[in-house]
């Protein structure tokens, strides 16, 4: 129930206020998500969706930090190159 799944904002339908809605893509499948709590999200941003509403925008810089730490530990198993790659387009 605490399932919060990351998805990409691909199209805004209603931008403002309590009835804001956007189309969000989860690995190639799109669904309309209620965006009242994350109206600042831009196209291409990733949001965490729970029970049909977005509850947070994912910060891409913070998202990389754990991999930066692991890379610092000297275990450079390709994470350095991963860090600079852009999110791949969904098929």
Partner 1 sequence: MQHKGENDSSSWQMNCPVSIPSNAECVTLAHGEGGRLSRKLVQERIVRVLNNEYLVALNDAAQLPEVRGPLALTTDSFVVSPLFFPGGDIGSLAVFGTVNDLAVSGARPLWLTLSLIMEEGLPLAILDRVLESIAGAAEMTGVKIVAGDTKVVPRGAADGLFINTAGVGELITPTPPGPATLKEDDELIVSGPIGRHGIAVLAVREELGLSPLPLSDCGSLLQPVERLRDGIGDQVRCMRDATRGGVAAVLHEWAETCGLTLSIDERSLPVSPAVRGVCELLGLDPLHVANEGTMVIAVKQGTSAAALRILHSLSETAGARLIGNVTSRGIAPVTVRRTLGPEQPLDDPLGSPLPRIC
Partner 2 sequence: MKYLDEYRDPRAAQLLLDEIRRISSRCWTLMEVCGGQTHSLLRHGIAAELEGTVELIHGPGCPVCVTDQEAIDYACQLSERDDVMLTSFGDMLRVPGSRGSLLDAKTAGAHVRVVYSPLDAVELARKHPDKQVVFFAVGFETTAPATALAVKQAGRDQLENFSLIVSHVRVQPAMEALVRAPDNRVQAFLAAGHVCTVMGYASYQSFVEQSRLPVVVTGFEPLDLLEGILACVKQLEANEAQLENRYARTVRSTGNPAAQHLVQEIYQICDRAWRGFGNISDGGLELRPEWQRFDARTRFTEPVLPVINVDECRSFEVMTGHLKPPDCPHFGTRCTPETPLGAPMVSSEGACAAYYRYDGTMSRR
Residue 41 burial by Cβ neighbours in a 10 Å radius (0-12, 13-18, 19+): buried
Binder of residue 16, out of partner 2, partner 1, none (CB less than 5 to 8 A by kind)? none
What, of partner 1, partner 2, none, does residue 91 touch, CB below 5 to 8 Å by kind?
Answer: partner 1
Which of 16, 27, 76, 82 is close enough to bind partner 1 by CB under 8 A? 27
Shortest reach from residue 81's CB to partner 2, in Å: 13
Distance (Å, whole) CA 77 – CA 83: 12
Nearer to partner 1, 32 or 70 (CB): 32
| Strand 29-34 with 5-14, pairing | unpaired
Residues facing residue 32 across a β-bridge = 23
Interacting residues toward partner 1 by CB under 8 A: 3, 5, 23, 26-32, 49, 90-91
């Amino acid at each position: 129930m605490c399932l919060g799944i990351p998805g990409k904002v691909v199209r805004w339908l209603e931008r403002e206020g309590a009835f804001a809605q956007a189309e969000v893509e989860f690995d190639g499948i799109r669904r309309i998500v209620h965006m009242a709590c994350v109206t600042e999200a831009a196209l291409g941003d990733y949001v965490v969706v729970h029970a049909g509403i977005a509850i947070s925008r994912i910060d891409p810089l913070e998202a990389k930090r754990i991999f930066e730490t692991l890379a610092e530990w000297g275990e450079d198993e390709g994470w350095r190159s991963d860090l600079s790659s852009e999110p791949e387009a969904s098929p």
